[in-house]
């Protein structure tokens, strides 16, 4: 069984200052995929990470203190792929692929549209481009796991106030339709596969005590190609872990 965690840390240096290394040592996942690292590799004390038994790969944004993904693994990948070959996304450090024998792991940080119309438009184009790109990736890597911050709550059960947020970026009808298309295109939502009716969230606004009131959104996912869904043992949100405005998402899978 493999323990795979996905976690938007909202700045890895900030998370480290809040006890991230100690938590990682205790949790000890086989692989952990971080989003929104907001750092270059030289900004991170890698010796501490290596002392915990992890190899590391980073795909950082060109802009300092922005975006970026990193994958830490106790098992050695046989190949690492940086980006998706589309410069406008790769310069923002959004996609990192690690291949482990006959299965591959994509660590993704989808754009947010919350800062205005331009970024919402960028997000929608990204979704279309990503969907097309993944079809080619799947041909080469048919056993695929796509984890990360998708920045979309799929269904009403995935958000604390669906009616109040129906015009909010991250819960727009066109974004939700994309998620439905995604999960109809050969991918399975690992958490919903195991728990069709359970309410758990992965992100809470820093405003108005949203986390203490559990007014959250489920926007972090571990999708697996349908040929892996029966190998999922468990998939949960570690909602008590608090180094970020997100919580880690854990999947246990027999690969």
Kindly list the structural domains of the chain, giving each domain's residue range(s) and its CATH number in brackets, ordered by start.
Answer: 2-253 (3.60.10.10)
Pairwise CA distance, residues 206 & 240, whole Å: 15
For residue 131, pLDDT over 90 is answered with yes
Predicted pLDDT at 249: 98
Sheet hosting strand 31-35, strand order edge to edge: 55-59, 69-73, 31-35, 2-8, 249-253, 232-237
At 171-218, the pLDDT tens digits run 999 999 999 999 999 999 999 999 999 999 999 999 889 999 999 999
Give me the catalytic one of 30, 149, 158, 189: 149
Percentage of the chain modeled with pLDDT above 70: 100
For residue 116, pLDDT over 90 is answered with no
| Rg from Cα positions in the chain | 17
Predicted pLDDT at 208: 84
Predicted pLDDT at 83: 97
- Answer yes or no: 118 catalytic: no
């Amino acid at each position: 069984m493999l323990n795979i965690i996905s976690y938007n840390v909202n700045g890895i240096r900030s998370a480290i200052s809040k006890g991230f290394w100690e938590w990682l040592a205790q949790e000890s996942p086989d692989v952990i995929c971080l989003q929104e690292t907001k750092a270059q590799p030289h900004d991170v004390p890698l010796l501490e990470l290596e002392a915990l038994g992890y190899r590391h790969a980073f795909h950082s944004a060109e802009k300092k203190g922005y975006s970026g993904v990193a994958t830490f693994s106790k098992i050695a990948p046989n190949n690492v792929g940086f980006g998706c070959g589309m410069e406008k996304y790769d310069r923002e450090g959004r996609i990192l692929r690690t291949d482990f024998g006959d299965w591959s792991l994509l660590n993704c940080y989808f754009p947010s549209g919350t800062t205005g119309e331009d970024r919402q438009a960028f997000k929608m184009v990204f979704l279309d481009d990503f969907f097309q790109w993944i079809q080619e990736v799947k041909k080469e890597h048919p056993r695929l796991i796509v984890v990360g911050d998708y920045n979309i709550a799929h269904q009403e059960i995935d958000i604390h106030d669906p009616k109040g947020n129906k015009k909010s970026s991250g819960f727009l009808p066109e974004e939700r339709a994309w998620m439905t298309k995604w999960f109809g295109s050969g991918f399975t939502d690992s958490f919903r596969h195991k728990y069709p009716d359970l309410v758990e969230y992965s992100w809470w606004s820093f405003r108005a005590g949203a986390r203490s009131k559990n007014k959250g959104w489920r926007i972090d996912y571990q999708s697996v190609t349908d040929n892996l869904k029966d190998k999922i043992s468990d998939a949960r949100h570690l909602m008590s872990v608090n180094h970020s405005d997100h919580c880690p998402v854990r999947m246990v899978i027999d690969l």
